[in-house]
Amino acid sequence: MEYILIFISAIFVNNIVLSQFLGICPFLGVSKKVDTAIGMGMAVAFVMTLATVVTHLLQTLVLVPLHMEYLQTITFILVIASLVQMVEIVLKKVSPTLYQALGIFLPLITTNCAVLGVAILVTQRQLSLLESVAYALSTAIGFALALTVFAGLREQLAMSDVPKAMRGMGIVLVTAGLLSLAFMGFSGVDMGLRALLVR
C-alpha cells in the first residue's frame, strides 16, 4: 500500500512540475507538440530513474561512510551530466528524428532541476533503494504526463481564436496555471489513501 501511495502522490498530487514547480524550462519549451513531449518525457524518465539509483548508491555507499556529504550536489550533477551524455549518444543512433526534435532541450536535461531535485529529495527523505526507484519512476511518469497533457492543450490552443493580447506566452502561462489547479483536485485522493493506510 505504501508504494501505491508513493505512485499516486508523485504522479498526481505532488506533481514535480505542477505542484513543486521543478522542471519548468522543458515544460514550457518542449510542450509545443505531443510527439516531442512524449519523447522528452521518456528521456527524462530514463535519466531521472537511473540518476536516482546511482546517486542513492553513491550517497549511502561512498559519501555518508566517508563523511563527505558536503560533496552531494556536485557529485549528483556530475552523475546526471554523464547519464544525459549517454542518453544523447543512444538517441542519436536509435532515433535521429527524435534527437533532432528535442534539439537543445536534450542537453538541458543536465540542468533540469527536476532530475537533481528528485535525487536530493530521495536522500533528504531517507528512502530505501526500492522506495527511491518507485519515487523516481512515478515522479518521471508525473512529469511526462504533465508535459504530454500540456502539449495537447497547446496544440488545441494553436487552432483556437485566442484574444490578441493573450497570444503567445500569456495564454500558455494561464493554461499551465489552470492545469496546475486541475491537478490540485487529486489531493483528496491522497488524503483518502493516507487515511486507509493508517487504519
pTM: predicted TM-score of the whole model, two decimal places? 0.84
21-45 pLDDT, tens per residue? 888 888 888 788 888 888 888 888 8
User: Buried b / exposed e across 119-145, counting CB within 10 Å, b at 16+?
Assistant: bbbbbeeebeeebbbbbbbbbbbbbbb
84-121 pLDDT, tens per residue? 888 788 888 888 887 777 666 677 777 778 899 999 99
148-195 pLDDT, tens per residue? 999 999 888 888 888 888 888 888 888 889 998 888 887 777 667 667
